[in-house]
Chain A
Amino acid sequence: MDYFFTEEQEMIRDLCRQIAEERIKPVRAELDEKEEFPREIMKALAQADLFQIIIPEEYGGLGGGCLENCIAVEELSRACCGVSTSYAASFLGAYPMLLFGNEAQKEKYLPLIGSGEKLCAFALTESSSGSDAGSIQTEAKKDGDSYVLNGSKQWITNGGEAGVYTVIAITDRSKGARGATAFIVEADDPGFSIGKKEIKMGIRASATAELIFKDCRIPAERVLGKEGLGFVVAMRTFDKSRPGVGAQAVGVAQGALDEAAAFARVRKQFGKPIITFQAVAHMLADMAVDIEAGRALVYATARYIDSGAKDFSKVSAIAKVFPTDMAMRVTTNAVQVLGGHGYMREYPVEKMMRDAKILQIYEGTNQIQRNVIGQELNKEYGRKK
């Protein structure tokens, strides 16, 4: 179906598709097997200017928005979610700077991220603080013209590979929701180190690691926005980035349908291709329905956000929760359609199923998304007359 992209959006889609086919698909199984970070692919994405997509033109970027981001992420995810997660996480880390950075910070960091010279990462989660983000323990104490950070972050995507991290830390616990601050931390800041690298179920090419802050001293200029805005920075960042997770889901689901439909056409049982059996055809049909619904939802939401909408927490959560739940259904059924073959690592669908699971969990679990939607509905209907 034609979604009436602009020429530039089509160019992004076609280029990502080309890179996915030529550079990602041939190595995705090996990257998954070895849990190897896709450094060469990240380099190719940087050469292709794909890290410039959401960087504003005045910092050397292409000045695109949510939809351009979603298009790129969807096409890359169709080939491998491990790669697309590494790519998308750099934007997740960059959004706090885009939304709350001052001129000096934007001039310093956005060109580095846009050129792909430095990958970025976003650090909020801790071992005791996942959905309960407000309970984070990492502290930042003001000391003269510096802040000193102590604590640790857990399960940070691009941990150890990124050159720049946006970190949320508590600056004044007594202030509750206004007690945290967002900081820019550079990989070579004193007192900053990488801890445990995680072994995962899926997106194994993506690097997931612990960050350790031990008297990590950073200049006060690294504060994003101002003290106390930390949780606001995080929430506004997620509002912008959630459709991107939806796009990952649409991409991986599409990749799964591609494999399942192709297989069902050539696999014969009882003398006929299995796609001619209603049980199988209906599964594929439901997959196609789910994917198109998810895609239309992601694009519509992205366009709405790009139009300059002010209040989009609810629709952003919706654009994350539906596609990610459907991607789990679709990839699981793709394995089912391939039957015994689907279970074998030789075929790509079991990886897609393993990859899809995280999409229901990170950037706010789908339970948290439903909390957000419920709260917004409460507000909305409270306002209606």
Chain B
Amino acid sequence: MKIAVCIKQVPDTANVKLDPETHTLKREGVESIVNPFDLFALEAALRIKEAAGGEIVAITMGPPQAETVIKDAIGFGVDEGLLLSDRAFAGADTWATTAALAKAIMGLGDVDLVICGKQAVDGDTAQVGPGIAQRLGLPHVAFVKGFREIDNKRLVVERQMDDGYDVVELPLPALITVVREVGEPRPPSLKGKMRAKKYTVPMQGAADLGLDASQVGLAGSFTQVVKVFAPSHSGERRRLEGSEDEMGAQVIDALVDNQVIMLGS
């Protein structure tokens, strides 16, 4: 089985402060780490490889120093890595990010499973995983907390919900995002770390991926962060029924009715 894991280098948010003016993270002097949810993604990939065999490739989009997260991944036992780095990628929102990651995954060929962490602890959108699935036309399940069956054709997973969990079967190729419960990340191994020391991380830019500047980075972004705040929890819950298309339409209607989004140009 060929598994691609998307990982991100983030500031160590346990120690970081929010700038009250710009509502962005004050990153100076803060150490960079592998996004904690991506450690769960790597662990999930390693367990699947142990169960079903195969190869794991770790991919990251970031500045040149992000190659350390790829080397960290090699240290955990991942087989190969890929750094997507280009000035043109800067300022990307999740849509522009998924443009690069999806192209990179396509470039690997024959990927059976893409695994992402639930969300990055700096952006907290949880959008990149589903966004990649959308671009690649892959079925996806988010918030996977465990695996019931794994074989080369399909997965049966447990999906974490607010009040329990669902058991979902999905055919491969597919994408999943994982939560903490998927497994305690193993430590790096000595053999892995020795390999990581000597490993040259392959790098690809926009041109290598066949993307032009308008598709990536700030230029390729539909959204811009204006304000970051923690919303208060509202009391109303509504359960929708019907086909996926019907339910999707109901969600859009609800968002429009509540003036959360506006339709139109």
* A residues whose Cβ falls under 8 Å from a Cβ of B: 7-8, 11-12, 15, 18-19, 22-23, 40, 44, 47-50, 52-53, 62
Contacts and interface: CB of A to CB of B under 8 A. Distances in A.
B116 to A, nearest CB: 23
Contact of A52 (B186, B191, B197): B191
B194 A19 contact: no
A228 B251 CA distance: 82
Contacts of A23: 187
Interface of B: 184, 186-194, 197
Contacts of B193: 11, 15
Nearest to A18: B187
A47 B77 CA distance: 10
B194 A11 contact: yes
A23 B184 CA distance: 11
Nearest to B196: A11
Given A7-B197, A8-B194, A11-B194, A49 B189 contact: yes
Nearest to B190: A49
28 contacts: A8-B190, A11-B190, A11-B193, A11-B194, A12-B190, A15-B187, A15-B188, A15-B193, A18-B187, A23-B187, A40-B184, A44-B186, A44-B187, A47-B186, A47-B187, A47-B189, A48-B186, A48-B187, A48-B188, A48-B189, A48-B190, A49-B189, A49-B190, A49-B191, A49-B192, A52-B190, A52-B191, A53-B190
A62 B187 contact: no
Nearest to B75: A15
A19 B188 CA distance: 9
A19 B187 contact: yes
Contacts of A44: 186-187
Contacts of B189: 47-49
Contacts of A22: 187
Contacts of A53: 190
A113 B146 CA distance: 29
A22 B186 CA distance: 11
Nearest to B77: A47
Contacts of B187: 15, 18-19, 22-23, 44, 47-48
A384 B186 CA distance: 55
The 8 closest A-B pairs by CB, nearest first: A49-B190, A47-B186, A49-B189, A48-B187, A49-B191, A48-B189, A44-B187, A19-B187
Contacts of B184: 40
B63 to A, nearest CB: 25
Contacts of A7: 197
Contact of A62 (B186, B188, B191, B192): B191
B190 A15 contact: yes
Nearest to B186: A47
Contacts of A18: 187
A32 to B, nearest CB: 21
A104 B105 CA distance: 46
B120 to A, nearest CB: 21
Contacts of B192: 49
Given A11-B190, A40-B184, 8 more contacts: A11-B193, A11-B194, A15-B187, A15-B190, A47-B187, A48-B189, A48-B190, A49-B192
Contacts of B188: 15, 48
A72 B192 CA distance: 17
Contacts of A40: 184
A81 B22 CA distance: 49
B45 to A, nearest CB: 14
A22 B39 CA distance: 14
Contacts of A50: 190
Contacts of A47: 186-187, 189
B205 to A, nearest CB: 32
Nearest to B197: A7
B191 to A, nearest CB: 5
A8 B198 CA distance: 12
B17 to A, nearest CB: 24
A8 B191 CA distance: 10
Nearest to B191: A49
B118 to A, nearest CB: 21
A196 to B, nearest CB: 33
B227 to A, nearest CB: 36
